[in-house]
């Protein structure tokens, strides 16, 4: 079997190739137009062929107003004019200062070789951003419909102006900060070759969508002062099916990728993640009246560095827990099933693997009295190597379940993880550990 190792240099080379690709010229508007790249899921796919996307037959170009003027109305006009088979060209520097609902699209390309900046008008966005019940999420804009491709050729930028929001959060921990890009109800589409910087909250949410390809992205969240970046998940999937996220570089402070409730048939491959909370299943079981599923997820050939975790599964306990001012819950039910982490390089992560059925609750007694209603089964860790940080030395991972009835069929093979002292102890409790090849299990 041949394995493909995607390095950071390779990712940058891919983006450079896209950036220097020869553009086509639309003679009607006399502007350079990025060509839609022919990127496919590789080496793995989600188990379903990429939907056919026909060529576009018309082009609408948007001239930026400049000076911080709100470009949202004319961007909306362009989408209405070029819906049903067109390409919207965004090759200037645009400011979006009002909420933009683009969930009506059908067979549309978005060629972004310029930049989109969301105006840091906190008062306006608090009153007008789109709201989602799940985890009090909000959004500047949302894109949905059928057959939508967004591509940036390695040069297109989406800037969330997160610093103003992180500064605001430092004095108001209940501040609802918008997500930089939400795909909501998109069936068949792609987002490729973009650079995303400074998200107020998560970079991306893929919600209520299917058959989505994400590729060749560079995501960066860095604070310019002592107020830390908050959240900054790279991608969260929610109620979505058949999604591939691949060949990208992420430098952030929270989950690199997180599979939220009802994420199925997902592939994550060829990512280089730094400073994150890992590639994570969950959190799940947050809402008592919800039944959460995450199933058939393949996480392949990735590198995680300087993170709290590399491979992570997190579910809430069976009792309500107040975790953070705008993040609380517990008591929900459902299952996690058929999750594979294969070929995973670890560099200075606190835990190589963390399985936690008591997420959001620090009182261990309550967790024992009210175990999680979520079951976790058919979990595979294959070919993982590298070193952990000194934080938990000599322990390198923690797998703690509510009970053997809630966790079963855990498997590990070819795991070569060492602490700085050269030891490899694992905290393992409340499940059958016989499938963990070579693990030195100790109590917590």
pLDDT at residue 209, rounded to an integer:
98
DSSP state of 436: B
Q: Give me the DSSP letters along 394-410.
A: TEEEEEE-S-TTTEEEE
199 has a pLDDT exceeding 60:
yes
pLDDT at residue 379, rounded to an integer:
98
pLDDT at residue 221, rounded to an integer:
98
- CB count in 10 Å sphere of residue 44: 18
Which of 52-61, 191-200, 319-328, 372-381 has the lowest average pLDDT? 319-328
Residue whose pair of structure tokens reads 């691949």 in the numeric block = 246
| Tens digit of each residue's pLDDT (9 = 90 or more) over 90-139 | 999 999 999 999 999 999 999 999 999 999 999 999 999 999 999 999 99
DSSP state of 252: -
pTM of the model: 0.92
Residue whose pair of structure tokens reads 């390409």 in the numeric block = 87
pLDDT at residue 369, rounded to an integer:
82
| Tens digit of each residue's pLDDT (9 = 90 or more) over 25-59 | 333 333 457 999 999 999 999 999 989 999 999 99
Residues of the chain with pLDDT > 70, as a percent, come to: 93
Asked whether the CA dihedral 397, 403, 404, 409 is positive or negative, the reply is negative
CATH number for the segment(s) 277-444 = 2.160.20.10
pLDDT at residue 32, rounded to an integer:
55
17 has a pLDDT exceeding 50:
no
Residues of the chain with pLDDT > 90, as a percent, come to: 84
pLDDT at residue 28, rounded to an integer:
34
As its CATH architecture, domain 1-251 has 3 Solenoid (2.160)
pLDDT at residue 186, rounded to an integer:
98
pLDDT at residue 66, rounded to an integer:
95
| Tens digit of each residue's pLDDT (9 = 90 or more) over 265-323 | 999 999 999 999 999 999 999 999 999 999 999 999 999 999 999 999 999 888 888 88
Evaluate whether 301 touches 269 at the Cβ level (below 8 Å): yes
Interatomic CA distance for residues 386 and 305, integer angstroms: 10
Vertex 300 angle, CA 298 and 305, to 5°: 120
Which tokens is 11 given? Answer: 């990712």
Evaluate whether 32 touches 192 at the Cβ level (below 8 Å): no
Residue whose pair of structure tokens reads 């792609």 in the numeric block = 190
Query: Where does 306-432 show beta strands of DSSP type E?
Result: 309-315, 321-324, 327-329, 333-349, 351-356, 373-388, 395-400, 407-418, 425-429
Going by pLDDT thresholds of 50, 70 and 90, the confidence category of residue 9 is: low
Please choose, from the candidates 359, 358, 352, 360, the residue with its C-alpha nearest in 3D space to the C-alpha of residue 391.
352
Of the ranges 28-32, 332-336, 359-363, the best mean pLDDT one: 332-336
At residue 138, φ and ψ (nearest 5 deg) are -135, 165
Which of 95-104, 186-195, 360-369 has the lowest average pLDDT? 360-369
Helices (H), 66-181: 72-81, 122-128, 162-171
β-bridge partners, 204: 181, 235
Vertex 154 angle, CA 121 and 240, to 5°: 70
Active site residues: 277
Interatomic CA distance for residues 140 and 428, integer angstroms: 42
pLDDT at residue 323, rounded to an integer:
85
8 has a pLDDT exceeding 70:
no
pLDDT at residue 366, rounded to an integer:
81
Interatomic CA distance for residues 292 and 124, integer angstroms: 33
pLDDT at residue 177, rounded to an integer:
98
363 has a pLDDT exceeding 80:
no
Which tokens is 31 given? Answer: 């502007």
- Cβ contacts of 161 within 8 Å, gap of 6 or more: 117, 118, 119, 120, 198, 200
| Tens digit of each residue's pLDDT (9 = 90 or more) over 246-259 | 999 999 999 999 99
Count of helices and strands (H, E) across the chain: 5, 31
Residues of the chain with CATH 2.160.20.10: 1-251, 277-444
DSSP state of 372: -
The mean predicted confidence, pLDDT, of the chain is: 92
pLDDT at residue 324, rounded to an integer:
81
pLDDT at residue 360, rounded to an integer:
81
Vertex 58 angle, CA 118 and 77, to 5°: 40
């Amino acid at each position: 079997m041949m394995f493909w190792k995607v390095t950071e240099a390779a990712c940058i080379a891919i983006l450079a190739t896209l950036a220097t690709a020869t553009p086509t010229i639309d003679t009607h508007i006399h502007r350079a137009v990025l060509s839609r790249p022919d990127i496919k899921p590789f080496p793995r796919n989600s188990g379903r062929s990429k939907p056919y996307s026909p060529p576009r037959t018309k082009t609408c170009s948007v001239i930026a107003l400049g000076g911080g003027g709100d470009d949202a109305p004319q961007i909306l006009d362009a989408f209405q004019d070029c819906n049903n088979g067109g390409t919207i060209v965004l090759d200037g520097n645009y400011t979006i200062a009002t909420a933009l609902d683009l969930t009506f699209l059908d067979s549309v390309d978005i060629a972004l070789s310029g930049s989109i900046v969301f105006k840091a008008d906190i008062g306006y966005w608090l009153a007008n951003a789109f709201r989602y019940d799940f985890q009090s999420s909000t959004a500047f804009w949302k894109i949905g419909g059928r057959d939508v491709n967004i591509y940036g050729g390695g040069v297109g930028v989406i800037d969330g102006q997160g610093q103003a929001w992180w500064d605001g959060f430092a004095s108001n921990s209940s501040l609802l900060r918008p997500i930089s890009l939400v795909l909501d109800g998109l069936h068949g589409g792609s987002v490729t070759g973009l650079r995303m910087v400074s998200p107020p909250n998560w970079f991306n949410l893929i919600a209520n969508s299917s058959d989505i390809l994400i590729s060749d992205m560079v995501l960066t969240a860095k604070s310019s002062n002592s107020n830390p970046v908050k959240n900054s998940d790279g991608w969260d999937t929610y109620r979505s099916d058949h999604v591939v996220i691949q060949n990208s570089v992420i430098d952030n402070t929270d989950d690199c990728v997180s599979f939220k409730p009802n994420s199925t048939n997902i592939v994550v491959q060829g990512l280089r993640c730094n400073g994150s909370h890992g590639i994570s299943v969950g959190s799940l079981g947050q809402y008592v009246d919800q039944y959460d599923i995450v199933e058939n997820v393949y996480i392949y050939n990735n590198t995680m560095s300087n993170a709290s975790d590399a491979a992570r599964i997190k579910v809430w306990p069976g009792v309500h827990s107040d975790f953070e001012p705008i993040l609380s819950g517990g008591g929900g039910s459902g299952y996690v099933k058929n999750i594979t982490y294969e070929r995973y390089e670890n560099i200075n992560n606190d835990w190589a693997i963390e399985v936690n059925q008591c997420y959001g609750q620090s009182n261990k007694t309550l967790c024992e009295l009210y175990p999680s209603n979520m079951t976790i089964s058919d979990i595979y860790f294959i070919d993982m190597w590298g070193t952990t940080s000194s934080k938990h030395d000599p322990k390198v991972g923690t797998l703690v379940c509510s009970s053997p009835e809630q966790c079963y069929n855990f498997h590990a093979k070819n795991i070569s993880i060492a602490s700085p002292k050269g030891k490899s102890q694992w905290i393992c409790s409340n499940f059958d550990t016989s499938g963990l090849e070579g693990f030195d299990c100790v109590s917590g």
